[in-house]
Amino acid sequence: MPFSRKRSRAPWARWIFFTVAALFIVLAVCGGALEFQLWVPSNNIRLETERQLQGIRGILLGCVFVLFVSREFYGRKKGAGHEPDLRNDS
C-alpha cells in the first residue's frame, strides 16, 4: 500500500505532496466556477485565467514527475532495514 502510514518520505517530498494537493483544490474550485458559470468574467479575464490554470497544471505535472523520478512517490517502508551507509570509514 503506497500511501499507508507504514511508509515514510523525505520532508521535501511531503511538502511537494501538500503543494500538489493545495493546487489541485485551487484548480477544482476555479475550473468548476468557470465551467458551471458561477463566475462569469469578461473575455480578457477568462482567457488570462485559463492561461494561469494551464500554468498551474504544468507545475503540477512537473511536481508529480519529480516525485516519480526520485522514487519518493511511494515512499520507503518504515523499519524495513537501514539505509546503506555511504560514508567511507577507511
For the chain, the structural domain boundaries read 9-71
Q: Model pTM?
A: 0.70
Question: pLDDT tens digits, the chain, 90 residues: what are they?
Answer: 556 677 788 888 889 989 999 999 999 999 899 889 898 999 999 999 999 999 999 999 999 999 999 988 888 777 755 555 455 555
* CA atoms 7, 10, 83, 68: torsion sign: positive
pLDDT of residue 78: 78
